[in-house]
Amino acid sequence: MLAALVSLCAAADEGMWLLPLLEKMNIKTMQEMGCRLTADEIYSINHTSLKDAVVIFGGGCTGEVVSSQGLLLTNHHCGYSSIQSLSSVEHNYLLDGYWAMTMGEELPVEGLSVTFLDSFTDVTDKVNKATRGLEGEVFDKAFAEISAKLTAPLTAADKHISATVVPFFGGNAYYLIGYKRFNDIRFVGAPPSSIGKFGADTDNWMWPRHTCDFSVFRIYADKDNNPAAYSPENVPYNPRRALRVSLKGVQEGDFSMIMGYPGTTNRFMTSREVAEQRDLTNAVCIFCRGERQKILLEDMLADPAVKIQYASKYSGSTNGWKKWIGMNEAFGKLDVENRRAQNEAEFMDWVGKKKCRGKKYGSALNDVAAGVAERADARRMMLYLRETLSRIEIGQIAGTVASAMDDPAMGARMERFYKDYSPSTDKKVAVRMIDIYRDSVGLATIPMLYKAVVEQHNGDVAAFVEDLFEISAFASKEKLDAVLAQPDAAARVENDPAAQLSNAVMDLYMARAKDAGRAGERLQAGKKAYIAGQLEMKKGEPMYPDANFTMRLTYGTVKAYSPKNGVRYDYFTTLKGVMEKEDPDNWEFVVPARLKELYKAHDFGRYARSDGSLPACFIMTGDITGGNSGSPVMDGDGNLIGLAFDGNWESMSGDIIFEPDLQRCICVDIRYVLFIMDKFGGCGRLVDEMNIIY
């Protein structure tokens, strides 16, 4: 069904294409560009193919299997939270890096999973038949019922398979997707952050780039090669497919392709939604996160223990924060709102040419605009609640414990929370976040908070926060353990001021979410009709569904670009650029002594370019977004040549509109990855596992 909605010919560069449709839509163009594989060699349900080597890493990244013993590569920033969770002041794997010299030294990572795609089946007709004409809660119920009916055979046939029905094209198409998840994942190695995160926030989203953004893990399975919980008896997983690794390198114009799990794009976003994204969502998040990040960074730089505790939290916050700043800048420079308005005018002109089109699509854009307007107040309050009061960690743990005191896993969750918690830092954050909420929304929206701050503390937020941390059992694990040991623990937790604050914030958030949801129903109905109309209007042109964290393939070429008049950025960087950026007084640009030694000696081994330099990163024109981090970048034979890890600053509006002249995927060259593993880390055993080709 979905193939009938979209073009049978596809242009290069732009597009996050569905793998089951490669034969019909893409392979001819890909082969003309330099791909030497068939569609069946890339994606097949009947035998092994490239897709069997690509995985969901954790809950928001991509990884690839590179050996017959389950060795896995992903980005350093994708493995960052796992590395942080294993780190301590005594064993600081973020600062120093880590290399397991034997399999026995590979470290289990609690809570980390790796997920393989098992099947991908078009079920559009079945879902439409079961839900036709239904809306709102009635539709939701019917969709849940048909989803359960469709997933049941997959999960019944194999207890290790999970399945879900996923909408595409705004609900105009549906696929049944089966997955197999492995939960015994072990940390094998990573460079120090001075290499894996070189340039940190300053270089994030920027080109030229010199970050060796990779980390190494291994998948373990039971003796029958099936998923299993961690056990010392588990063995390295024998995958259906492992990628070959090429040391040939890249040249400008080379065909390259990326397989992975892009998270979210909005290529059908209307002009009203662009304005909402820029003026509301991005604006609120940029300001609130920026204020919190100042506090976190100050404490992190002052205390090595706090730096470990908050490394992952800070990194996760700044990544989105800087992207939203770049997105708003690109919206302005590239005139995105007006370009979207022009698209809409063309659409309405097409609709007006036939009466039948007007009946199906005539109100679509008005419904979207009305939905955006109707949800504005609720959405604004939700954003401030999420980005301010919900960021107060004492409230987070209080809400977690209060909602699930009897959960057997609660003890472990509390251990993890307090391991990475600094009460003094949280106090500072709490004061600033409450101040922002008071100034932007008003404390009167939360009577409990208004009474505590205004009436009991004469409006002194700092005094309220000081009392909160003094009184609350959640200020430390010791105090909480003492309360939980009491016979009336449930009542004490319920009456704890941190739990009461958390509940008040959550109650308000859910109430406003319900308001936003009612407006959202009209918006989504309008959006579905608008997308359906776009599919009809552009029949015969290349179209693809928005990213939704399902496996996609994008392809293009290795290519330089010009960000502005008189400036040209080359398609690759080398280790020389690392040395040029070195600043020993700036934590973002410190270069390890060992790396400098190797550079001075030109000791690059087989990983050097033909001119003797060591490659660092390269760029290509593939269409990627968040979720593609860690995705394999492959040549025309399906060999691994790099890892995708970023987009470039000039195209931060790329989730909305693809910019072919500007948009680039930033990749770490696989030769730099192997050099750091082997020459810098001294862990050549990992390279020896791989199938290396030249």
Containing 437, the helix (H) or strand (E) segment is helix 423-440
Q: Which residue has the tokens 């398609």?
A: 571
Catalytic residue, candidates 77, 87, 203, 651: 77
- Does residue 637 carry a catalytic annotation? no
Residue 66, token pair as written in the block: 């590179």
Q: Beta strands 98-99 and 184-190: pairing type?
A: antiparallel
Spatial distance between the Cα atoms of 274 and 155, rounded to a whole number of angstroms: 40
CB atoms < 10 A from the CB of 677, how many? Answer: 26
β-strands 107-108, 98-99 pairing: unpaired
Q: Is 629 a residue of the active site? A: yes
Active site residue 184: no
Burial (CB count within 10 angstroms: exposed 0-12, middle 13-18, buried 19+), residue 191: buried
C-alpha span between 10 and 22 (Å, rounded):
10
Rounded Cα gap, residues 505 and 517, in angstroms: 18
Q: Which residues, other chains included, contact 105 with Cβ-Cβ below 8 Å and sequence gap of 6+?
A: none
Q: 3-class SS at 134?
A: coil
Number of H helices, E strands in the chain: 29, 23
CA distance 425 to 301: 12
Relative to beta strand 692-693, strand 245-246 is parallel
CB atoms within 10 A of CB 451: 12
The one catalytic residue in 122, 184, 213, 299 is 213
Q: Do the Cβ atoms of 186 and 220 come closer than 8 Å?
A: yes
> Which residue among 312, 629, 651, 653 is the active-site one?
629
Alpha-carbon distance of 354 to 71, in angstroms, equals 57
Query: What are the distances in angstroms from CA 152 to CA 129, 141, 157, 276, 649?
Result: 18, 17, 9, 40, 44
Residue 317 CB partners (closer than 8 Å, separation 6+): 289, 292, 293, 296
d(CA 363, CA 293): 43
Just list the catalytic residues: 77, 213, 629
